[in-house]
C-alpha cells in the first residue's frame, strides 16, 4: 500500500540484508498476513472472495427470510393486525429487494468467483484487485441499503418501485432513497465483476480449452456476466433519473409536468427481465455439472445446452413488456411480446429435457447434491409451466398482480435458483473446505425444503386464481382465502427451518471432521469431470501447480477413463493418481491490497451524503480519489515479498495490471 | 441400434469433435418444431381471435382531468340500446364511483384514469384487469349476461391504503 511506492533497495529483502533508510512519508507496506481478519479484508484471492460472497449471501438469506416469515404470519388469518400497513409495505419491499439483489445475485457471484478460474484452468481472475473491489462495493451497498431500517424506515414501493409512487410527492421518506442509492452502489460491484469474469474467460483459459470444451457452468456464467454487463446499466440509468427527481427536483417521472410514468416501467423491466435470467442461469450451470457426475454419463446434447444458454441470453432482452400486459401498451405490443415469451420458453424447456435425457439410463447416485439438482429440474419446470401461462396474454391479464405471479416466481427463484445453489453448495463444499457435508442431515435438509417449499408456494397458485391480489396487507374472511393462506404460513415456517439446516449441517460436519483428525477428502471425492477436481482439496492458494493442457471436453474424466480395444469404457486411473500434487513451487500470486476495501468504503459515504447532506459527500469523494490514486500507483505485484517461496526475485518490474 | 458415436460414455471417438447422437439430433428438430407451433398459436390468438387487451384510449393531464367533462362527473352514462359507458377515477385510496349498477345484458365500456399514482382496476371474476396510469385513459368493453355483484379492486400496489381500495359493480336482474 503506497501512495508513492517505496523503491526497495536492490540487495535488500527478503534476504534480510540492509533495508534502506526510513520510509518516505506516504509510503506504507502492503498487507502480508497469510491468515486472520486482515487477510480476509485485503485478500485478492478469487477463492476467498467467492467464499465471502457466499457467506454474505447466506447472511442476507436469513436477513431477508425473517421478513418473509413476518409477512406470512400477518397473512395467516384474515384481518390480522400483526403488522401495520406501513410496516407491511416496507417489509415486502425489502424482502424482495434483499432476496434478489443480496441473496440470489451474490450467490451466483460466489460460485462464479470460486469456480470459474478453476474450471478454465487459471490461477486467478483477470483483475484480482478489481475482484476484491466488486465484493466490497456489493457488500457496502447491501449494508447501506439495510441501514435504512434504522435511519427512517425501509423502502415501501415494492421491489419495482413504480413511478410516480416512488416520487418525493407520494413517498417523502428516505426509504426509497436508500433503495435507490444502495442498489446503485451494489450495481457498481456487479458491473466490475462482470467485466472481470468475462475477461477471465476470454483471455485466461488453459491451453487447449476451446469454446466447446468449456464446462457448462463456465458457459452459463459467461452468459450471465454479459447479461449483467448490459442489464445493470439500464437500472442505473433509471435510478439516476429517480435520484435527480427525488434529490434535485428533476421531472423525469413527474406526471404533473407531463412526463409519462410508463418510462419507469419500461426501464425497470428492460433491466428486470434479463435480471430474471441472470439469476437462474448460474443455477442451470451448477445443475449441468452435478447431474452428469452423479448419473455417470456425459451431459446430453452439450452443444445444445450451450447454445440454448446463449439463446436465453439474447432472447431475454425481447420479453420485458410481458410484465406490462395490462398497462395499456396495446394489442400489437402485447401479442409481439407474448410470442417472444413463448419463444424463450423453448431453450429453457430444451435444457430441462436435456437434463432428463442425461439422467435417462444413467447409474444414478442419489446423494444430497444430486437430489437438489433433481429438485431444481422438477420445481423449476413447475414454475416454468406457470410462466408459459403468463405468455398467453389473455390468461396473463387474469393473473397480473395476483398471488399466481408470486407462486410462479418463487417456483423459479426458490425452487429453481436456490435449489441449484444448494446443490452446488453440497457438491463443491469438499473442494472449498476439505470435507464433505453430512449426507443424512443433507437429505433431511432436502426433503424438508421440498415439503416446506411446496406447502408455502403451491397454495399461492390457487389463491391467485381465486383472485387474491399481491401486496395486500390483509384480506377479509368473506373472501374465501383463509384455508390456503394458513397452509402457506405453516409451510413457510417448515421452509425457514429447512433452509437454515444447511448451517447446522456445516457445523456438525466440521466437528465430525475435526474429531476424525481432519482426514484428506482427496482431490476428486465424487469421481467428477471438470478441471477443478484435478487439484487438491481444499484448493491450494495457487490453484494449479502447472497450467493444465486440455484436449477434450471433460478432459479430467478422460485422464481417468478410456475405452479399451473393444470399445468398453475402463477406468485407467483414479482421480488421486492424475491430480496435481499441489506443491506449486515458485508460483507468483497477486499481492493483497488495502485499496479495494478503501475504495469500496468511499461509496456509501457519498451515498449517505446524497440522502442526508451533500456536505458528507466531500469526505467521501476525497476518500474515493485517494483510493483511486493509491490503487493506480500500487504495483500489481508486491516487490518486497518472496511469496513464501524463498525465491527472491530481483526487482523485476511487472506490468501493473489488475 | 445405437451407432458407435452415440456411446453415452464417450463424447466422441477422438474426443476432439463432438458427434451428434441420433437422439440428440431428433430432439433438436422436435424442439424447433415446438417453437414454431407455440409461436403460431400465440399469433393466431393475438391477431385472429380478437383478443382484447386494455387499450390506451388517450392522454390527459392528471392535474385537471377531474375538473373537466366527462371526468368531473364520474359514473355511468346510458347510451341506449343496452350500451353504457362508465368513467372511473382512481385516487389514493378509493374509486370514484365506488358503486356502479347496470341491468343484465348491458354492454359496458370502462374508461379509467388516475389522478395521482398508478392503480389497478380488476373486476373480479371477469377478464377485466387494467393498470391505471396517471396521464393515460385505459379502456375495455364487456357485456354482462348474468346478474350478480362483481367487486372491483385496485391490484397495482399504490401505497398505504392499497388493500382497502375497492368498489362494486352490481348487475341487476331485469326490472330489478
ipTM for the predicted complex comes to 0.81
pLDDT at A651 over 80: no
Q: Would you state the pLDDT for residue A31?
A: 82
> In whole angstroms, what is the distance from residue B76 CA to residue B95 CA?
13
How does DSSP classify residue A469? B
Flag if A393 and B133 touch (Cβ within 8 Å): no
pLDDT of residue A650: 42
**Model pLDDT, residue A619:** 96
pLDDT digits (tens, 9 = 90+) for A588-611: 888 899 999 999 999 999 999 999
Contacts of B125 in chain A (CB under 8 A): 467
Contacts with A602 (C-beta within 8 Å, 6 or more apart), sequence order: A620, A621, A623, A624, A627
How many CA atoms lie within 13 Å of A416's alpha carbon, on the beta-carbon side?
29
Quick one: pLDDT at residue A18? 47
SS (H, E, C) A88-138: HHHHHHHHHHHHHHHHHHHHHHHHHHHHHHHHCCCCCCCCHHHHHHHHHHH
Q: Are residues B81 and B115 in the same domain?
A: yes
> B25-77 pLDDT, tens per residue?
887 788 788 778 877 877 787 677 766 777 777 788 888 888 888 899 999 99
In total, the C-beta contacts within 8 angstroms joining chain A to chain B are 199
Q: Of the candidates B10, B33, B51, which is a domain's last residue?
A: B51
Closest in A330, A361, A471 to B8, CB measured: A361
Same domain, B140 and B61: yes
Mean pLDDT for the stretch of residues A34-56: 94
CA A534 to chain centre: 25
Q: Which of B28, B34, B135 sits opposite A304 (nearest CB)?
A: B28
Q: Mean of the per-residue pLDDT values for chain A?
A: 90
CB count in 10 Å sphere of residue B77:
14
What total of structural domains would you count in chain B? 2
Residues B66 and B151 in one domain: yes
> What is the pLDDT at residue A647?
46
Determine the structural domain holding residue B35 and report its residue range.
1-51
Q: Which of B35, B51, B67 is the last residue of a domain?
A: B51
- Above 70 in pLDDT, residue A643? no
Q: Are residues B72 and B29 in the same domain?
A: no
* pLDDT score at A639: 62
- Regarding whether B165 and B115 lie in a shared domain, the answer is yes
Find, in chain A, the residue whose alpha carbon is nearest to that of B20.
A301
CATH homologous superfamily, domain A37-541+552-582+592-633: Cytochrome c oxidase-like, subunit I domain (1.20.210.10)
pLDDT, residue A64, reads: 96
The span from the CA of A94 to the CA of A107, in Å, is 18
Q: Does B135 lie in the same domain as B114?
A: yes
pLDDT band at A20 (very low <50, low <70, confident <90, very high): very low
Q: CB of A640 within 8 Å of any CB in chain B?
A: no
Task: Tell me: do B60 and B33 sit in the same domain.
Answer: no
What is the least distance, in Å, from the CA of A452 to any CA of chain B? Answer: 27
Q: What is the pLDDT of residue B25?
A: 80
Interchain CB contact of B90 with A (< 8 Å): no
When CB atoms are compared, the residue of B15, B42, B130 closest to A338 is B42
Q: Do B59 and B111 share a structural domain?
A: yes
How many whole angstroms from its chain centre is CA B155? 12
| Percent of chain B scoring above 70 in pLDDT | 85
- Provide the pLDDT for residue A528: 96
In the beta sheet, which residues pair with residue A313? none
Cα angle at B122 between B121 and B126, to 5 degrees?
140
In this model, does residue A12 exceed pLDDT 50? no
Tell whether B25 and B76 lie within a shared domain: no
Neighbour count for residue A154 (Cβ, 10 Å): 28
What φ, ψ does residue A470 adopt, rounded to 5°?
Answer: -75, 165
A563 CB neighbours in chain B (<8 A) are 10
Query: In this predicted structure, what is the pLDDT of residue B13?
Result: 44
Distant-in-sequence contacts of A510-517, Cβ < 8 A, 24+ apart? A510/A433, A510/A435, A512/A438, A513/A434, A513/A435
Answer whether A503's CB lies under 8 Å from A61's CB: no
- Is B37 in the same domain as B107? no
* pLDDT one-digit tens code per residue, A301-347: 999 899 999 999 999 999 999 999 888 888 888 888 988 888 888 88
Amino acid at each position: 500500500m503506497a501512495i508513492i511506492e517505496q523503491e526497495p533497495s536492490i540487495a535488500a529483502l527478503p534476504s534480510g540484508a540492509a533495508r534502506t533508510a526510513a520510509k518516505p512519508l506516504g509510503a506504507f507496506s502492503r498487507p502480508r498476513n497469510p491468515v486472520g481478519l486482515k487477510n480476509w479484508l485485503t485478500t485478492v484471492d478469487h477463492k476467498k472472495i467467492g467464499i465471502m460472497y457466499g457467506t454474505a449471501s447466506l447472511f442476507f438469506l436469513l436477513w431477508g427470510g425473517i421478513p418473509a416469515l413476518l409477512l406470512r404470519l400477518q397473512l395467516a388469518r384474515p384481518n390480522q393486525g400483526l403488522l401495520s400497513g406501513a410496516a407491511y409495505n416496507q417489509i415486502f419491499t425489502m424482502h424482495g429487494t434483499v432476496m434478489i439483489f443480496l441473496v440470489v445475485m451474490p450467490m451466483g457471484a460466489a460460485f462464479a468467483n470460486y469456480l470459474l478460474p478453476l474450471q478454465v484452468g487459471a490461477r486467478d481472475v483477470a483483475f484480482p484487485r478489481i475482484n476484491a473491489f466488486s465484493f466490497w462495493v456489493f457488500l457496502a451497498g447491501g449494508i447501506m441499503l439495510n441501514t435504512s431500517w434504522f435511519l427512517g424506515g425501509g423502502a415501501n414501493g415494492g421491489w419495482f418501485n413504480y413511478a410516480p409512487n416512488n416520487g418525493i410527492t407520494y413517498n417523502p421518506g428516505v426509504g426509497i432513497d436508500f433503495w435507490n442509492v444502495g442498489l446503485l452502489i451494489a450495481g457498481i460491484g456487479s458491473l466490475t465483476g462482470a467485466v472481470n469474469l468475462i475477461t477471465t474467460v476470454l483471455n485466461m483459459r488453459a491451453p487447449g480449452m476451446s469454446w466447446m470444451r468449456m464446462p457448462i457452468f463456465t458457459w452459463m456464467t459467461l452468459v450471465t456476466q454479459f447479461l449483467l454487463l448490459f442489464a445493470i446499466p439500464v437500472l442505473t440509468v433509471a435510478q439516476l433519473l429517480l435520484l435527480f427527481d427525488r434529490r434535485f427536483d428533476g421531472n423525469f417521472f413527474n406526471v404533473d409536468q407531463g412526463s409519462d410514468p410508463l418510462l419507469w416501467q419500461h426501464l425497470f423491466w428492460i433491466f428486470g427481465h434479463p435480471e430474471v435470467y441472470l439469476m437462474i442461469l448460474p443455477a442451470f450451470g451448477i445443475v449441468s455439472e452435478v447431474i452428469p457426475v452423479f448419473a455417470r454419463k456425459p451431459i446430453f446434447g452439450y452443444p445444445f445446452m450451450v447454445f440454448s444458454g446463449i439463446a436465453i441470453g439474447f432472447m431475454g432482452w425481447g420479453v420485458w413488456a410481458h410484465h406490462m400486459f395490462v398497462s395499456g401498451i396495446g394489442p400489437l405490443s402485447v401479442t409481439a411480446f407474448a410470442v417472444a415469451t413463448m419463444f424463450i420458453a423453448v431453450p429453457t424447456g430444451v435444457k430441462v429435457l436435456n437434463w432428463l435425457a442425461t439422467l435417462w439410463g444413467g447409474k444414478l447416485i442419489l446423494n444430497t447434491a444430486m437430489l437438489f439438482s433433481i429438485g431444481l429440474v422438477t420445481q423449476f419446470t413447475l414454475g416454468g409451466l406457470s410462466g408459459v401461462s403468463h405468455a398467453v396474454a389473455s390468461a396473463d391479464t387474469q393473473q397480473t398482480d395476483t398471488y399466481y405471479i408470486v407462486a410462479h416466481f418463487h417456483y423459479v427463484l426458490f425452487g429453481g435458483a436456490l435449489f441449484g445453489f444448494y446443490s452446488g453448495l453440497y457438491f463443491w463444499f469438499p473442494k472449498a473446505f476439505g470435507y464433505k457435508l453430512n449426507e443424512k442431515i443433507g437429505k433431511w435438509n432436502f426433503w424438508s425444503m421440498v415439503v416446506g417449499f411446496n406447502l408455502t408456494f403451491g397454495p399461492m397458485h390457487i389463491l391467485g386464481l381465486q383472485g387474491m391480489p399481491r401486496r395486500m396487507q390483509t384480506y377479509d374472511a368473506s373472501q374465501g382465502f383463509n384455508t390456503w393462506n394458513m397452509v402457506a404460513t405453516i409451510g413457510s415456517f417448515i421452509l425457514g427451518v429447512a433452509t437454515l439446516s444447511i448451517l447446522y449441517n456445516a457445523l456438525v460436519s466440521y466437528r465430525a471432521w475435526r474429531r476424525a483428525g481432519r482426514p484428506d477428502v482427496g482431490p476428486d471425492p465424487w469421481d467428477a469431470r471438470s478441471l477443478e477436481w484435478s487439484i487438491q482439496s481444499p484448493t491450494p492458494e495457487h490453484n494449479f501447480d502447472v497450467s493444465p493442457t486440455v484436449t477434450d471436453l471433460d478432459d479430467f474424466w478422460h485422464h481417468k477413463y478410456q475405452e479399451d480395444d473393444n470399445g468398453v469404457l475402463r477406468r485407467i486411473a483414479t482421480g488421486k493418481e492424475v491430480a496435481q500434487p499441489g506443491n506449486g513451487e515458485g508460483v507468483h500470486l497477486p499481492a493483497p491490497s488495502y485499496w479495494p476495501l478503501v475504495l469500496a468504503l468511499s461509496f456509501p459515504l457519498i451515498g449517505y451524503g446524497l440522502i442526508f447532506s451533500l456536505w458528507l459527500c466531500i469526505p467521501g469523494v476525497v476518500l474515493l480519489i485517494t483510493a483511486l490514486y493509491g490503487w493506480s500507483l500500487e504495483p500489481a505485484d508486491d516487490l518486497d515479498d518472496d511469496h513464501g517461496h524463498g525465491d527472491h526475485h530481483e526487482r523485476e518490474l511487472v506490468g501493473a495490471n489488475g | 441400434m445405437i451407432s458407435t458415436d452415440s456411446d453415452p460414455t464417450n463424447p466422441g471417438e477422438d474426443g476432439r469433435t463432438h458427434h451428434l447422437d441420433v437422439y440428440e439430433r431428433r430432439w433438436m428438430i422436435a424442439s424447433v418444431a415446438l417453437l414454431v407451433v407455440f409461436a403460431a398459436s400465440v399469433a393466431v390468438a393475438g391477431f385472429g381471435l380478437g383478443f382484447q387487451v386494455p387499450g390506451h384510449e388517450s392522454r390527459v393531464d392528471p392535474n385537471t382531468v377531474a375538473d373537466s367533462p366527462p371526468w368531473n362527473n364520474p359514473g355511468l352514462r346510458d347510451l341506449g340500446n343496452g350500451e353504457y359507458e362508465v368513467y372511473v377515477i382512481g385516487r389514493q385510496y378509493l374509486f370514484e364511483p365506488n358503486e356502479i349498477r347496470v341491468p343484465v345484458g348491458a354492454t359496458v365500456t370502462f374508461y379509467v384514469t388516475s389522478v395521482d399514482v398508478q392503480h389497478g382496476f380488476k373486476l373480479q371474476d371477469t377478464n377485466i384487469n387494467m393498470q391505471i396510469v396517471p396521464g393515460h385513459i385505459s379502456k375495455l368493453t364487456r357485456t354482462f349476461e348474468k346478474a350478480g355483484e362483481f367487486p372491483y379492486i385496485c391490484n397495482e400496489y399504490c401505497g398505504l391504503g392499497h388493500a382497502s381500495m375497492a368498489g362494486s359493480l352490481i348487475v341487476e336482474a331485469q326490472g330489478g
